[in-house]
Amino acid sequence: MKKTGLLLSSILLAASLLTACGGKQEAAPAANGGAAAEQTTIKVGVTAGPHEEILNKVKEVAKAQGLDVQVVVFNDYVQPNQALDKGNLDANSFQTIPFLDKFNQDHKTKIVEIGKTVTFPMGLYSTKHKKVDEIPEGGVVGIQNDPTNRARALLLYQAAGLIKLKDGVKDNATPLDIVENPKKLEFKELEAAFLARSLNNVEVASINTNFAMEAGYSPKKDAIFSETSDSPYVNVIAANEANKDNPALKKLVEIYRSEEVKKFINEHFEGAVLPSW
């Protein structure tokens, strides 16, 4: 009996040492049912300007609710999605749904909308002319070179009465779809971020509101023509499809679309940026 007891004690001691040294054993169920701890820090990409300013307000409100929002600023429309796709961001806030759809199609990515944010009416700006009808015949005019914003810009030029596009082209419009161009305007394609800096080299340019404001222009005062408030180009918060149900991201959307953030947008931008809620 003594030998048996001694053997049993030795076995138990060996098992204890094996466990302490990292031996594999089945984990006990977590007290919360096995759920992982909720994420409290997220990285969100934005473009410089209004998107950045709004998200900094969101960050301020989120901090009081236990969510740490780290704002990562970009200066173009490609890198925020590339960084998101690679997992370097948890979400981004800078793009419209047509732009997102086109990016996914072109880059085989799976980035999805998780919440609508604001509308930035695109406008025509000029340092040489105060009215659209002052633009001279044969003038060089600027438009964005990315497919979605290029089509949006052409639709804006059409709305201003400067050109006419083929019926039905809409979000797929290119300069090749112009069927009427009474002033024989020459369309020069540039990166969206560069258009505001290139106004001295063109008669007029279509500029996204965030880049116009970053360059010191007031959309309400300086645009000689702009989209109306019913523009379909609402911006969104986006995330990778596999992460779209992350509770921290749902909280981000909820905070973004809060009355506190809406008040900030209305007061700070004075109608140049329009909340979607």
pTM of the entire structure?
0.72
**Span 48-70, pLDDT tens digits:** 999 999 999 999 999 999 999 99
Q: What is the pLDDT of residues 99-118, one digit of tens each?
A: 999 999 999 999 999 999 99
Give dist(CA 250, CA 253) in Å, integer. Answer: 5
Strand partners, 178: 165
Domains of the chain: which residue ranges? 41-120+233-275, 123-226
Report DSSP state, residue 219: H
* Terminal Cα distance for the chain, rounded: 79
- Is the pLDDT score of 33 beyond 70? no
- Per-residue pLDDT reduced to its tens digit, 71-102: 999 999 999 999 999 999 999 999 999 999 99
Joined tokens for residue 148: 């979605």
**Domain 123-226 annotated CATH 3.40.50.20:** no
CA 261 to chain CA centroid, Å, is 17
What amino acid is encoded at 73 in this protein?
V
Is residue 276 a contact partner of residue 118, using CB atoms and an 8 Å limit? yes
pLDDT average, residue stretch 239-265: 98
pLDDT of residue 146: 92
- 33 residue type, one letter: G
Bridge partners (DSSP) of residue 115 are 237
For 41-120+233-275, CATH number out of 3.90.1580.10, 3.90.1420.10, 3.40.190.10, 2.40.50.140 equals 3.40.190.10
